[in-house]
């Protein structure tokens, strides 16, 4: 075999290894037979690829798959946890850190409460907590990291262009994170990563056209999926639904405009009413459920009315099959009446509204960390035998 032919064959093998590992990752376990059908490769090639991934401690094979027809059942290929990625979500009131295994499984997590962390504080907390969590999993090693940032992020170098609530502008995050952890690190907008997670493992599984809205401490962001792929926009900023105008005479937003969705649908306003300071999503939902409805119903009604305007606009513009609400917006959705939820798109064009489902995120408070994990894994599984 010539040097050129050997190089080409090596690249084909690398692509096939990556394709197998990606399917195992997103399916959280798949039979050899299904790999053969999905990738269009013959059984012996699939067997060789799986054996190479098993030898490199990426996957295991187990004989728990259901029998298909006669003969021996096809072994199921499942991801291992020898390698982990670190996921970081710096927010207005805390820095959330996790270790994420293949299959989007959060194996360890810690939330550090801090008001308005700086970039240096966010990186320092992430490095300390990743070290602590990794020490609890000595048989695994952290191979990459990614951060879900509540702001506009340039994804090619992980520079935060503008995170208004955190006060970050033109701040590098991925590069100092990589230095602190000693592994490759990446960063992207938190809501886009939440969208990515819900598409891969959550409410959007199998969706071809989807809109995701995320409500966090820093406001509201989103993501758009078309033909099964995340739409990033020219600079990676597509889906900033928090800055849709729902009331031109409304309150001033952090961006400087009046009546943006995130200025009207305010998590901070509800927190103040409930007397909460640093709740996570589950604590906020539980407190709202237990609160005196006479105090919270007017706020829920006002905010749900603004959300209704935004959802009608989004449905009309994008024509999605599914709209997924995460974080505080899922809490607001749960607090609304059954009639409000059922008729949320009543004023949209009937031909569009009839085909749209609105659902809460399925991954709960882990969605952004799983999404950050997806970003990190995307840079690792492309060449599984590289290291």
Q: pLDDT tens across 79-106, in order?
A: 999 999 999 999 999 999 999 999 999 9
Place of tokens 């199921």: 76
Q: In this structure, what token pair is assigned to residue 363?
A: 């991954």
Task: Please report the domains of the chain, with CATH numbers, ordered by start residue.
Answer: 3-79 (1.10.10.10), 83-193+367-378 (3.30.420.40), 203-362 (3.30.420.40)
Q: Are 216 and 150 in contact (CB under 8 A)?
A: yes
**Residue 263 burial (CB count, 10 A):** 24
**40 — alpha (psi -120 to 50), left (phi > 0) or beta?**
left
Given a cut of 70, whether residue 65 has pLDDT beyond it is no
Predicted local confidence at residue 72, as pLDDT: 63
Predicted local confidence at residue 297, as pLDDT: 87
Q: ∠ at Cα 199 (194, 200), nearest 5°?
A: 100
Please, which pLDDT band fits residue 9 given cuts at 50, 70 and 90?
confident
Share of the chain above pLDDT 90, in %: 73
**Residue 227 burial (CB count, 10 A):** 7
At 185-243, the pLDDT tens digits run 999 999 999 999 999 999 999 999 999 999 988 889 999 999 999 998 887 778 889 99
At 309-347, the pLDDT tens digits run 999 999 999 999 999 999 999 999 999 989 999 999 999
**Adjacency order of strands within the sheet including 105-113:** 105-113, 94-101, 83-90, 141-149, 185-189
């Amino acid at each position: 075999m010539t040097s050129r032919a050997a190089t080409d064959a090596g690249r084909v093998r690398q692509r096939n290894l990556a394709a197998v590992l990606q399917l195992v990752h997103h399916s959280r376990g798949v039979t050899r037979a299904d790999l053969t059908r999905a990738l269009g490769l013959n059984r012996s090639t699939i067997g060789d690829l799986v054996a190479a991934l098993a030898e490199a401690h990426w996957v295991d094979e187990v004989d728990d798959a259901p029998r298909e027809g006669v003969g021996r059942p096809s072994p199921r290929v499942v991801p291992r946890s020898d390698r982990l990625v670190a996921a970081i979500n710096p927010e207005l009131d805390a820095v959330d850190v996790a270790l994420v295994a293949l299959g989007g499984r959060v194996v360890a997590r810690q939330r550090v409460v801090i008001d308005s962390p700086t970039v240096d504080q966010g990186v320092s907390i992430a490095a300390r907590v990743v070290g602590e969590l990794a020490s609890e999993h000595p048989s695994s090693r952290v191979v990459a990291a990614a951060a879900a940032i509540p702001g506009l992020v340039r994804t090619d170098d992980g520079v935060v262009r503008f995170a208004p609530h955190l006060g970050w502008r033109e701040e590098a995050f991925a590069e100092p994170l990589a230095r602190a952890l000693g592994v490759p690190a990446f960063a992207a907008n938190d809501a886009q990563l939440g969208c990515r997670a819900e598409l891969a493992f959550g409410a959007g599984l199998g969706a071809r056209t989807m809109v995701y809205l995320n409500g966090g401490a820093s406001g509201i962001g989103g993501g758009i999926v078309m033909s099964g792929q995340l739409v990033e926009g020219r600079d990676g900023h597509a889906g900033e639904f928090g800055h849709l105008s729902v009331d031109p005479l409304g309150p001033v937003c952090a961006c400087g405009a009046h009546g943006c969705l995130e200025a009207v649908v305010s998590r901070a306003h509800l927190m103040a009413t409930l007397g909460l300071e640093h709740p996570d999503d589950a604590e906020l939902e539980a407190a709202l459920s237990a609160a005196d409805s006479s105090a919270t119903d007017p706020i829920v009604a006002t905010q749900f009315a603004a959300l209704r305007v935004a959802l009608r606009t989004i449905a009309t513009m994008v024509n999605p099959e599914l709209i997924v609400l995460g974080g505080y917006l899922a809490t607001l959705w749960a607090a609304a009446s059954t009639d409000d939820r059922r008729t949320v798109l009543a004023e949209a064009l009937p031909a569009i509204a009839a085909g749209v489902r609105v659902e809460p995120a399925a991954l709960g408070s882990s969605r952004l960390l799983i999404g950050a994990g997806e970003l990190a894994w995307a840079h690792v599984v492309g060449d599984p035998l590289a290291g």
